[in-house]
Amino acid sequence: MKDVDPKRARSIRFRMALLCGLFCVGLGIVVAAAHNTEVEDGAAWHELAEKQRLRRLHVTPKRGTLYDRRGTPLAVSVEVPSVSVDAVEMLRGIEDQYLPMRIEQYAERIAGALELDVEQVKEKLARRRRFAWLKRRVTPEQTRAIRALGSRQQRYPVRGLIIEGEGRRFFPHRELAGALLGFVSPDGMGRDGLELSLDVQLRGRAEEIRGLRDRAGRLIFSEGIQDEAALVGHSVHLTIDQRIQFIAERELDAAVKTHEATGGSVIVVDPATGAILAMANAPGYNPNDYNVSDAGARRNRAVLDRFEPGSTMKAFSMAAALAGGSVKPRDRIYCEEGNMPIDNVVIHDTHVSKWLSPTQILQISSNIGIAKIALGLGERKLYDTFRRFGFGDAPGLPLPSEAIGTLRPRHRPWVPVETASAAFGQGISVTNVQMVMAMAAIANKGRLLEPRLIKKVTDSTGMTLTESTPKLRRRVVSPRVARLVTEMLGSVTEGEGTGVEAAILGFRVAGKTATAQKIDPATGRYSDMLYVASFVGFVPARRPRIVVSVVVDEPMAGTTSGGAVAGPVFRRVAGLTLRYLGVRPKGTKSMKLSDVAELAKGGDVAETAYAAIKDAKGAAEPPASEPEDPGAAAWKGTTAVPEVLGMPMRTAVQAALGAELMPVVEGTGRLSRTEPPVGTKVSKGSKLILVFEPQT
């Protein structure tokens, strides 16, 4: 700068100094900003960067399976495709003035592929959200149509459409145990029945995974699942047996339709373990299509419906009296010839009697007889025994809600009419679960067990997490009293008993019938038209394998008595269940499962039992010298149709078998006629049609 004019040199130096100063100030600002960003606000900026770079996904595990006690799936989860949309990605790069037109175009194409309303799709796209469901559980055709919309082979592919698998609950046996199992809503939450009460175990826990995403927000790399077991919820194995459940539901449904009843329930229990083998309800529903079912059909009547039990309570009143020593088996009770005034009411008996033993009181179901026994025992001991049998307490099943039933208030003394009516099941209410478990206590030598519905819980690897075992709640009565009551209940299904139509050929059945009047809501009084017909019992009486309780609500067509309505249901359910379990009368051959299947298709119990007896007899006889024609009669010779008119079903069937004839039963009640007529000579092994009609 020696050759430069001094003034110009000073100007250049000033400008250079100013420029350097500006650079220094700018650098200082940059350094300060960098320091502020990296040090002071570093955590906040780091969090923002992570949010933009990483994507967090909540992986919902597959819902666990519900099995029956033999491992048959009752409720499973399957993967079905669902379609969602990322509207931000779909509309990225489109200028604002073209947005309405593009949204209209995309909505029309998407609605056409998914069969949706165009306006509904437009509304979801216009919100411009990262995630919105378009349609859940789509068909394969709709899936292919959505993939075609996003194909790059198209001139204007639709971006942002996402197809992902989503769990759907599927019930392979449709209506079977529907009210017990419940259903699952589209969001994967259990909403009723066991699906609701076991939701935590079945649903498992959601797992969060992290990974990198691209500009469009798509996951391109993930860290993986930390716990693979989190991908599947726990599976629950029930004590329910699918085959016994089917038998119970089929027979109950037939009875409800035949008698034009409003509904009913059947429970089958193993008295030795408290395991519930079947819990049937009618009417039922298909959990796969729960949204088209009626709320009443989804109700688990066996657990929720309270009803006045009627005469079935006489068994427990008798047990209380025998345990308290107020009556002995050989006592005779005067039954007032059918009418007994007490307080301001008159108690009536259907069967007019004078002197009856305790066994006869249960056999013909005398209200007056059991009322006198209860009054002799006292209201306090009667109440305490009812509570010990479980009435008035929650059964303790793993279900969303349980009805408890009601007993008359204990804080004040019962007046005599309350004690008398409670003894024969009026003025109190119970549930079918309470009734079947109380009868199971008598079958189990006086020991009341907790009802079991869950056998075990396993994880996704099959490892058992929890397993239930029989639990004794308390001893209700002594084994001696339980045996006495069992013998008395055995008379109910024999001779002149009210439950002869519950008798099972080859077995002794112990049980009790009931025909309980219902309260008319309009008048508040007992109705002469509305009844609850029931039968509860166990078989075989000496060594019980099953306890079955049948309740039919408001039968209207034909008879309304518990013996005629509920008794045959018990006979068919218990008879088929015994054969399925391999329990058979002494001296008979075992029955194959194929025979049980044929019987389940509509064959008559008496006919199948006859075939079993015939096979047993044939096995005991020496083989013939020459082979027989397969179509020839199994037994040779002739016999006469015995005098069986007026007999109950069990006695008539036994007489027919004794005459080496094959009985075919039609109707209910007492035997009114036979085909061929009584006294006719027929070939041994011929069919004898027994036509029964209800008593008038």
- State the Cα angle at 657 between 656 and 660, rounded to 5°: 95
Locate the domains of the chain by residue range: 6-40, 57-237, 242-285+300-583, 596-620+631-693
Helices (H), 541-682: 562-581, 593-600, 605-620, 649-658
**What span, in angstroms and rounded, lies between the C-alpha atoms of 276 and 497?**
28
Helices (H), 265-346: 301-304, 313-324
Specify the pLDDT at position 212. Answer: 57
3-state class (DSSP) for residue 351: coil
Domain 242-285+300-583 has CATH 3.50.50.60: no
Query: 596-620+631-693: which CATH topology?
Result: Trypsin Inhibitor V; Chain A (3.30.10)
HEC letters along 107-176: HHHHHHHHCCCHHHHHHHHHCCCCCEEEECCCCHHHHHHHHHHCCCCCCCCCCCEEEEEEEEEECCCCCC
Specify the pLDDT at position 606. Answer: 43
Specify the pLDDT at position 105. Answer: 87
Q: Give CA separation, 194 vs 179, 190, 237, 238, 337, in Å.
A: 9, 8, 12, 10, 51
Give the DSSP per-residue string, 552-585: EE---SS---HHHHHHHHHHHHHHHHHHHHT---
Residue 577 burial by Cβ neighbours in a 10 Å radius (0-12, 13-18, 19+): buried
- 489, 215, 475: which is closest to 329 by C-alpha? 489
3-state class (DSSP) for residue 596: helix
Q: Which residue has the tokens 């216009």?
A: 126
3-state class (DSSP) for residue 454: strand
Specify the pLDDT at position 565. Answer: 94
* Residues of the chain where predicted confidence (pLDDT) is lower than 50: 221-222, 225, 591, 593-594, 596-635, 696
Same fold, 57-237 and 596-620+631-693: no
The pTM for the full model equals 0.74
Specify the pLDDT at position 679. Answer: 83
DSSP 336: G
Query: 57-237: which CATH topology?
Result: Penicillin-binding protein 2a (Domain 2) (3.90.1310)
Beta strands 546-553; 526-539: pairing state: antiparallel
**What span, in angstroms and rounded, lies between the C-alpha atoms of 226 and 23?**
52
**What span, in angstroms and rounded, lies between the C-alpha atoms of 570 and 498?**
14
CB of 599 closer than 8 Å to CB of 578: no
Specify the pLDDT at position 227. Answer: 52
**What span, in angstroms and rounded, lies between the C-alpha atoms of 315 and 338?**
20
Q: Which of 82, 235, 293, 311 is catalytic?
A: 311
E strand or H helix that includes residue 67: strand 66-67
**What span, in angstroms and rounded, lies between the C-alpha atoms of 301 and 296?**
9
Our answer to whether residue 11 is catalytic in this structure is no
